[in-house]
Structure 1
Amino acid sequence: VRVPEADYGLKLTMYQFTSCPFCCKLRSVLDYYGFSYDIIEVNSVNKKQIKWSDYKKVPILVCEDVGKNGFLQLNDSTVIISILQSYLLDRSQSLEKLASYYPALEGQDEKGKKTVEFQNKYFLMYQQAELTDNRTKEQYEEERKWRRWTDSDLVHMLSPNVYRTPSESLETFRHFDKVGEWEKNFSSWERTVVIYVGASVMWVMGKIIKRKYGLKDEVRDSLYDSCRLWTKTVGKKKFLGGDKPNLADLSVYGVLTSIEGCQAFEDTLNNTKIGPWFYRMKDACTNHKGSSSSHHS
């Protein structure tokens, strides 16, 4: 992705699954602000493209020519977004310095599996933000609240809906095959494995997530409820951020783009009023409308 009119002087490579909501969320921020970046599609079954990394979740964003090793690896979509926004607000701080403000804490979940949590991940780190941002403390708090809601609520509505039945699950993976250009990125054998193994695994996962997060028996209703809550929160404004999107708008939009093209998304457009906001966001991201407002030399 190249946006010549907004040159931030960063050489970025994003490792992703096309369909992953967290990857879509990061892409919406990169696109809105007009960052240029390369994309490497990761095989979701064997993950061989990120064999080099100890951290095995996507997205991973690598910034070349930064840091001691000649590159800086940034992990966790929310952390990456906070770092990039902090950088845009205050260019006096390097990406490396900003990354140090979001320490990774390793722990274990109830099954003894290793977990990695990042402190402060919804907070922006800046010293001179008043130079470029005149938002109130309440507006920052609201943005953080809804960014957190995207990760803790909205995102869990997706899998049970797009993997609702074995056939819907397979249809979803065939859609991902097209949009992720798997034909170019993987061998035909790899594609077949990813589509059929992925569809089976995610159909089961959808059921587990439905139970874990207490979705309604008709999972569509839970997705509609979350989307209605969001449109009610945005209200009569163009975006939650007012005349231009804030990071909560970009997070909600990004996560929803992961199911765009699936039946669940069409049903959501037909049963809620989220469409106008969604397509205003699409226009803002596709046309890099944040590049002029954020690009200060």
Structure 2
Amino acid sequence: MSNFPQLYKKGNKPSCHPSKFQISAGFQVVNSDKSLEIYLFQYPTCPFCCKVRAFLDYNGLSYNVIEVNPIRKTELKWSDYRKVPILLVKVDEGYLQLNDSSVIVSVLSTYLNDTSTKLTDVVKFYPNIAFMDDDGTIKKEVLNRYHVMYHGQQSESASKRIVDERNSRKWADNVLVHMLSPNVYRTREEAIESFEWFSKVGEWDKNFSSWEVTSIVYLGSTVMYWLGKRLKKKYNLKSDVRESLYDSCNQWLKLLNAKGTTFHGGSRPDLADLAVFGVLSSIEGCSAFGDLRKKTKLSGWYDAMKSSVALHDGQLAR
């Protein structure tokens, strides 16, 4: 299955019904949009999952969390699509499955722009397409993955803002996120330290057995240590991978300075802010993030974002 939205109608695919899941946590927001009943399948420190949570929290949307065992993935047995995040949203016809963090954000943003349009109609703007890559491989992609749909003609300034936002969202996915693993798993010690933090944040002791937690921490950290080395080479990071992380974040800060505003979106965060914040929040408890705060001027923007997300400022803006 691709990352194209999937509808499970009432009476079909009973194994995906929320009653079958162990809800790890529920985040209920006062006066949240009651039209959306949301279930998020995630790893707590996956950067793409953190992007989705940042979006949901900022917009004041209540949701339930199902923690997925990163090794066994038994919580995803019902789905042909086996990556996180996955969002299940209750609709009149049953449950709508949304895959891929950027598709999820674009679909929900479009819906929030006009809640009179059914979510099942909104997803029609995001069809799945197949194409042949340069090497002859057939690949599938969701059309309009980074596009938010608006009613009517946009002004020239609004159109420029939309394009800038879209480009920065792509940058977060295609550049910034690749700085994380080589830095978080830079040494064996840092890899174990990171997984122990992941375990604490995700409350793995409450969701998995003790032997599962131990195997995830030590097996996972070993695998990711070596993967980090491969990714360093693949994405041409500097010999000191911290420098590549600093460079990427300084590139983001330079963009904000050029705008002369607190956020990429101006006085309030936009989807680009939420994407970059979500990605970076996934490593907040790791040594790499502490070094990032010390070596760059990221803290001002990051802390402002953290406050705005926690206060559900997007809900107030609607």
With the length of structure 2 as denominator, give the TM-score of the two structures.
0.87
1:48 equivalent in alignment to 2:70: no
1:120 equivalent in alignment to 2:144: yes
Residue 34 of structure 1: which of 39, 52, 60 is its match? 60
For 1:178-193, list aligned pairs within 5 A: 178-193=200-215
CA distance in 2 between partners of 1:180 and 1:5 (Å): 27
Q: Is the 8 A contact 1:89 1:128 kept in 2?
A: no
Q: Is the 8 A contact 1:90 1:129 kept in 2?
A: no
1:151 equivalent in alignment to 2:143: no
1:285 aligned residue = 309
Question: Would you say how many aligned residue pairs link Structure 1 and Structure 2?
Answer: 290
CA distance in 2 between partners of 1:30 and 1:129 (Å): 27
Q: Is the 8 A contact 1:89 1:129 kept in 2?
A: no
Q: Is the 8 A contact 1:6 1:292 kept in 2?
A: no
Residue 125 of structure 2: which of 76, 81, 101 is its match? 101
2:194 aligned residue = 172
1:208 aligned residue = 230
Counterparts in 2 of 1:283 and 1:164: CA distance versus 1, 3 Å = same
CA distance in 1 between partners of 2:39 and 2:231 (Å): 31
1:244 aligned residue = 268
CA distance in 2 between partners of 1:274 and 1:134 (Å): 31
Residues 186-195 or 176-185, more deviating:
186-195
- Post-superposition shift, 1:104? 2.7
CA distance in 2 between partners of 1:166 and 1:105 (Å): 41
2:253 aligned residue = 231
The residue type paired with residue 215 of structure 2 is V
Counterparts in 2 of 1:40 and 1:160: CA distance versus 1, 3 Å = same
Residues 22-31 or 188-197, more deviating:
188-197
- Post-superposition shift, 1:9? 1.7
Stretches of structure 2 lacking an aligned partner (at least 5 in a row): 1-26
- Post-superposition shift, 1:108? 8.4
The residue type paired with residue 213 of structure 2 is R
- Post-superposition shift, 1:194? 1.0
Counterparts in 2 of 1:124 and 1:185: CA distance versus 1, 3 Å = same
- Post-superposition shift, 1:95? 1.1
Counterparts in 2 of 1:181 and 1:108: CA distance versus 1, 3 Å = farther
2:291 aligned residue = 267
Counterparts in 2 of 1:155 and 1:143: CA distance versus 1, 3 Å = same
Residue deviations 1:80-120 (CA, integer Å, cap 9, x gap): 00011111112232111111221234578899998542221
CA distance in 1 between partners of 2:134 and 2:209 (Å): 38
Counterparts in 2 of 1:60 and 1:246: CA distance versus 1, 3 Å = same
What is the aligned-residue RMSD (CA, Å)?
Answer: 2.1
CA distance in 1 between partners of 2:133 and 2:83 (Å): 16
CA distance in 2 between partners of 1:6 and 1:128 (Å): 27
- Post-superposition shift, 1:7? 2.5
